[in-house]
Chains A and B, each alone.
Chain A
Amino acid sequence: MKITFFLLFLSFSAFSQDLPSLSKDITWQRLVHYKPTLFGVESEADNDKFFLSKDGKTHPLHELEKTVEAFKQNNQSAICRFPARYIWLSKILGLPAQSFKECTEFLVFSDKLQAKSASLIFSSYYINTPASAFGHTFLRMNRHAHGAKKEDRTELLDYGINYAALMDTDNALIYAVKAIAGMFNGVFTSVPYYYKVREYNDHESRDLWEYELNLSQAQIDLMVAHIWEMSQTNFDYYYFTENCSYQILAMIDLVDPKFRLVDRIPFYVIPADTVRAAVEEEGLVIEKKFRPSALTRLEAGTKEMSVKELTLVKNLAADPKKCESSLKDLTTSAQQATILDSAIEAMDFLFAKDLLLEKGQKRNDKHELLMIRAENPEISKDKEYKVRKDMFPDQAHRSQRVGLGHGYSAGEGSYQTLSMRFALHDMLDPLPGQPPFSEITFGDVGLRLQQQDYHAPRKLLINHLDIFRVKSYQPVTPWQQNFSWNARIGMGTLRDESFKDQLGSTIELGGGGTVGLGQNQWNLLTLLSKVELTQQDQFAHGWRMAAGPEISTRFVFSDHLSLGLVTSYKWRHYFTDNDFSSTAFQRGGEFRWNMNKTWSLFMKTDWYDIKSQTNQWSELGFYVYY
């Protein structure tokens, strides 16, 4: 009876704090991850343990009442489960400040982090899987205060806070379905930053971009407490919306009611957008840093070397014992040390997997090489890797693009085009902050309003509807000889006279090689063999196969001007008899003037010779990145 009375009194006094309006406070909404739905709000957390009230997932007020009630009773189990809620509510409700001394596990966690500042980390694309241009974002909780000097930092020992899906299937189909339908559990994890550096920088050769955030110690404490809360629950992981980047931004938003990072990104989140959102939040990012990958370090160290020196580095990396003697050609021990240091980097890059797994002959060679280096008395200096400010990922153009164009075709008259791309980047788009040798397109639609003749009404056609287009044209360098390839899945209007304006569905694959052209590292010449399969009901058997070579070039004249040229020849087969007489010869070019990160002008022209009949299209228009 007494207890009931006490509870009644408590809930009465709680209401006196105006809990209904407090439950609408942005920080409460963020603490419990409420999102508006058709019928009110719902928390994104998908674990009962995250709520004190049975209907807390959909009732912010009920959840707040239960939380306040527990906190006023000094319920330690609730306080230890929800330290961030306590930190925030105690200030508003005048509850005593907590040292959380009964929360052993939380204290162990926050003691482990010893966080004084935080950085947003972006790992760029994986060189061998260009499709990973989307990159990955996570947080690093730093032991140093922001802006600390280099010698006061122990970044390797800091903790990375990662949000990722727990994958629990080996079946590709189940995997894809679960990934899109949000059937994986997303969980927060913490791992020493050195694991991330070794994984991304060394093993996968991905550059890391670090954005140090200007947050107060109180904000950092709230963040740590909330990370702890989040690590107790799980979320449905949606690959395109509620993904790693989304949750990391929400984590930053929490600590300041003024922050609007999540609002700055489109409904589907690309990790590169997160760093831009952070940079656009005024005063939030105070320092940008770059942590070079194994390949970046190797290339920077060997760029200025003579052919002779480069050969020496290569030979040492291949067989240190045999080539040690040739080091004596160099006069000073400093010169020898420079060569040895690059050879160490070359070996790590070229034989990354063998060395990591500690198997095979390479680990013995590496041991030899390091012993030779240890004998050399020179101490290596700390290296600073300069990177152009506009190459940081936050400087990249936005990933969505619309285009309007006006064109003329010799046989068909004038036409207008409207195009819309959801993501991410093509070879002629502004380069800064983007993977320079790749195209990654997801969802690209082009419509064409075609003038038939002067009297007939204009006709609206789908020019193309590509689900997916990828190109990886990594040029051959002294350190890597990557295969170039492309893939496309989508629909397009057929160019042939006999199937004019019909849509065909196409899968296209190509493979070959790329070399750089001249001194400009962005200029490329690519030679591919291509195969495509097209489905269209009007074909004799519904299918057409085509194959042939393609040669293409990409020139980047300046930060603003680029030109792409392509020539291809295809033999086509309609699965009728041994008839390969149908051929298609295409030449085309596109010139792009990227005026700034938002506006580009394009001018393109294409010639198609199909069965000796030539069609030509020319088009002028503009793109807007948004």
Chain B
Amino acid sequence: MKKILVVVSLALMASSAFAAKYGSAGCGLGSMIFEGDQTWWKQVLTATTNGTSGSQTFGITTGTSNCDSPAPLKVSQVQAYVEANKLALANDIAKGNGETIMNLSKVYGCSNTADFGKALKSNYRSIFSNADASSVEITNSLNSVASTSCNTNI
């Protein structure tokens, strides 16, 4: 329990660092897909010419991505994860189960994924307090739910 509190407070620091580094646009899916505003002919061409997902829109250079935290499966990853998976995560939390919850639970190192999912569900209103909740706010709420409802087997 102590450990998780340390981890979560680290995460809070990390998430505010994230916000400062990436600005309000963040590195969310929307900003990536529509960055550079793909014109129709480009879409058709990319589609017809072997469907490369143009790295202009989705390319993140190895190891240097701004949306990519350097270490894997760390709590500092949560915000990047929340930003990109916002829609799917909100759906899964409202339903109390789903792949985004399972993966999130792994990031926190929870051994009680099903209970964690239920706890997230009952906290839906506080996690997604309004339609425009930012990934920083969501991440902070997730961290606090994790700090009370997540068993880490340590």
Contact = CB atoms under 8 A, between A and B. Distances in A.
Interface of A: 105, 108-109, 111-114, 123, 126, 129, 131-132, 134-136, 143, 151, 154-157, 162, 164-168, 170, 172, 175-176, 179, 187-192, 194-195, 198-199, 202-203, 227-228, 231, 237, 239-240, 243-245, 269-271, 337, 341, 344, 348, 355-358, 363-364, 366-367, 370-371, 373-374, 378-382
Nearest to A245: B50
Contacts of A357: 30, 34
Nearest to B85: A194
Given A194-B85, A244-B50, A231 B62 contact: yes
Contacts of A341: 95
Contacts of B70: 108, 112
A481 B81 CA distance: 33
B81 A194 contact: yes
Contacts of A165: 52, 54-55
Nearest to A106: B63
A616 B3 CA distance: 83
B58 A191 contact: yes
A141 to B, nearest CB: 11
B132 A358 contact: yes
A135 B91 CA distance: 28
Contact of B52 (A126, A164, A379): A164
Contacts of A129: 43-44, 47
Contact of A187 (B55, B58, B128): B55
Contacts of A109: 62-63
Given A157-B73, A189-B55, A356 B44 contact: no
B60 A191 contact: yes
Interface string B62-97: 110101101111000100110011011011011111
Given A162-B55, A167-B56, A191 B47 contact: no
A187 B87 contact: no
Contacts of A164: 52-55, 59
B132 A373 contact: no
Interface string B111-154: 00100011001101100101110000000000000000000000
B9 interface: no
Given A202-B87, A363-B131, A370-B90, A189 B51 contact: no
A52 B30 CA distance: 41
Nearest to B133: A367
A126 B30 CA distance: 18
Contacts of A227: 62
Contacts of B84: 192, 194-195, 198
Contact of B99 (A131, A156, A348): A156
8 contacts: A156-B85, A157-B81, A170-B39, A202-B87, A228-B62, A356-B30, A358-B131, A382-B97
The B interface is mostly helix, strand or loop, or mixed, namely helix
Given A187-B59, A192-B68, A199-B33, A379 B53 contact: no
Contact of B72 (A134, A157, A371): A157
Given A190-B62, A367-B130, A167 B44 contact: no
A195 B106 contact: no
A356 B33 contact: yes
Given A112-B71, A165-B54, A271-B51, A187 B61 contact: yes
A366 B131 contact: yes
B30 to A, nearest CB: 5
Q: 9 shortest A-B CB distances, which residue pairs?
A: A132-B47, A374-B124, A380-B95, A231-B62, A367-B131, A379-B96, A239-B49, A370-B94, A373-B94
A337 B80 CA distance: 30
B88 A269 contact: no
A187 B61 CA distance: 8
Contacts of B106: 154, 157
A189 B60 contact: yes
Given A231-B61, A245-B50, A348 B87 contact: yes
B102 interface: yes
Given A164-B55, A370-B91, A131 B29 contact: no
A366 B54 CA distance: 30
Given A112-B70, A356-B33, A356-B87, A134 B50 contact: yes
Contacts of B52: 136, 164-165, 237, 239, 243-244
Contacts of A381: 97
A134 B30 CA distance: 25
A392 B129 CA distance: 42
A114 B96 CA distance: 29
B51 A166 contact: no
Contact of A166 (B33, B47, B59): B59
A168 B95 CA distance: 42
A123 B39 CA distance: 22
B45 interface: yes
Contacts of A114: 72-73
A151 B128 CA distance: 26
B66 to A, nearest CB: 12
A318 to B, nearest CB: 17
B16 interface: no
Given A176-B45, A370-B124, A203 B39 contact: no
B71 A111 contact: yes
B44 A189 contact: no
A243 B53 CA distance: 12
A371 B124 CA distance: 7
A172 B43 CA distance: 11
Nearest to B131: A367
Contacts of A367: 128, 130-131
Given A199-B29, A379-B97, A190 B72 contact: no
A357 B46 CA distance: 22
A344 B94 contact: yes
Contacts of A379: 95-97, 117-118, 121
B132 A126 contact: no
Given A132-B51, A157-B106, A202-B88, 16 more contacts: A113-B72, A131-B44, A151-B102, A151-B113, A156-B85, A156-B103, A167-B42, A189-B59, A191-B65, A198-B84, A198-B88, A356-B30, A356-B87, A366-B90, A379-B117, A379-B121
